[in-house]
Chain A
């Protein structure tokens, strides 16, 4: 060793006063603006659909209940919890998130606190690896409100936000006939639409019949119509009908609808039913042979609830007889919904399958007239009544009892029955719900056929955008030549004499309800309009005709303030164990609710009769 070797290390001291060539380690280093750091979740926006859990490639996410968040339509009440022992920070959960509530902050430092945490081996004392398992956004982490970090970029989506349109007849093609307007999906269209579903199942709770929606959409995607049909019939024996005219509450909560247009769940249901021929139903649904149990149930009314109850009772082996006052089965679905929305042959397809299970249908047989309710009670083990709301409500205006002031529901029935009736050149419809649109569009078609032009005005209290009818119904009615004037309320019906009308005077409606939420319309009497009319059609709601229920029995039935019959969860009438009720006289009003309570009543009847036997 030389002196040089000994002294050489000290030579670096010559740099002691120079500037360093390296940069100083920053005290706090920010993650970059799009860094994929710790997760954030807007708990208000999140609906607990679980799509993040589903897509996670490392099974790092669970869905768990969180205090203060409850399940409600459109929100499962669950929220994602992430396990940082498994997360690989791929951000697929953020990209797929149906509400854009999930994101990632640019924060990446998280250490267990405590004395000598860096020496921590003792988990009890210094925290454990389980500290890195946390419900995102619910545990007050320091990064919760971070503005920076990864978010789903705007320019791409893992699921298409745009729904596949269904081909339909243009106004010109449809305005003078009752041919079905919507043409149905092709296979390619249906599969493309089905592909948008993330199978979260949020829709199932919102559907009154709790249909297995994600499963049948999956069947469409996989082109397995038989499986699709089986899933439909588990909860809904009227798929052709519901596939066309269901109020689709499912679509209003569809998680995909949070960022784009909701799935066309209704049209996909229709696609399945449309693509299975009737003659294959029994084979697919395994109903070729049903063992009979020897018990008899009578059903009053062949609307959705009656048909649904009949279907599920027949499946359980009951001998079912339906009593229908009108010439054909279907109730309001046939006699209230125009053919261009729901063709009669499609009603027949659903009804005939139910009848093929051994159900007897007695048409033109009005209970209370041809046969009494007491007789049914005597002759059958149980009775189900789903008689619906077939009486139109009147505006109670002066002259509302004039012979040219009619009820929409009566006219719709006449159209379905093929009866000829007076359709003048000038008509005014009072009402802005779907039934009002149905009668407006139906009468417009008849006017066009008869006179070559349309002169019909529908007027309602609700303002534009707040109308009770579906938006597309209003748009299509206008396309077909009808005039819709929202936010005007009827004031006076002017008549010429007992035979002829002058028209209807309306005034601008300023508010419909008072401060307490009671119906009490306020009008601006300076803003009035007069609509000339040879006929006025009232379409402001319907009531039940329960005159078939004998007085003595009726006195023992409890009614809700909304004049609906009070029944238990099995739809068994209080104090009348032999009598079950369903449909619009109990709940609703709509088809799918009727189907649901018809099903529940069928289960209830079975429970009741089995118990009675024991």
Chain B
């Protein structure tokens, strides 16, 4: 594997090589497609396992990972790159790799739907994969508020309703000390008042 990495390094500028948990190399966004082509055609990495993304919201960037497999040598290699993270409703953009493997278009469709990363030219990239009539932030973006969306979108089941532990203990263990000017700070008490009853 080290030799393969050395060979890649001769032809492509790599930003990082990491072998802590499997082999991962990182290159600039502009080099991704040519490096993928090189790995597939001459490197023997003929099998694309998957493409996935990580939302590094604090750093304003997405990480894309292309996981490849060399069936002859039975080795795997991950190719990582970082792309600018757009502020929704603007989409981030990445060059499409659908011409290298037919399955790529499905992953790119998924990334478009879930992260709001566009791959111009990729077939059917604008069609929803599993979400129908989605009108919120792409749900895998970390600024998507799952709980808020749940509360707004789904009807509450009958009979729901909760108790705040601190308030409940007060009512059970020291109800007579309520005369003190002790008010539970809003953040704590809202849990009990925000009953989820319909």
Contacts and interface: CB of A to CB of B under 8 A. Distances in A.
Tell me if chain B binds chain A. Answer: yes
B150 A59 contact: yes
Interface in B158-190: 158-170, 172-174, 176-177, 179-185, 187-188
A539 interface: no
Contacts of B161: 62, 64
Interface string A78-97: 10000101100000000000
A59 B151 CA distance: 7
Interface residues of A, number: 47
A336 to B, nearest CB: 27
B162 A215 contact: no
A57 B154 CA distance: 13
Contacts of B181: 234, 312, 603
B98 interface: no
Contact of B174 (A49, A54, A61, A210): A210
B57 to A, nearest CB: 16
B146 interface: yes
Interface stretch (A69-77, A298-306, A367-375): A69-77
B76 interface: no
Contacts of B146: 57-58
A204 interface: yes
Contacts of B170: 204-205, 210
A341 to B, nearest CB: 28
Nearest to B172: A71
Range of interface residues on B (Cβ < 8 Å) = 35 or more
B162 A234 contact: no
B157 interface: yes
A129 B185 CA distance: 36
B169 A202 contact: yes
Given A78-B168, A201-B166, A607 B147 contact: no
B29 interface: no
A300 B191 CA distance: 42
Contacts of B188: 199, 201, 212, 214-215
Closest 4 interchain pairs by CB? A201-B166, A76-B165, A62-B162, A215-B185
21 contacts: A50-B164, A53-B191, A56-B147, A58-B150, A59-B196, A63-B165, A70-B172, A71-B172, A71-B173, A77-B168, A77-B169, A85-B154, A85-B157, A86-B150, A130-B157, A130-B159, A202-B166, A212-B188, A214-B188, A218-B187, A600-B177
Interface of A: 48-50, 53-54, 56-59, 61-65, 70-73, 76-78, 83, 85-86, 129-130, 133, 199-202, 204-205, 210, 212, 214-215, 218, 231, 234-235, 312, 569, 599-600, 603, 607
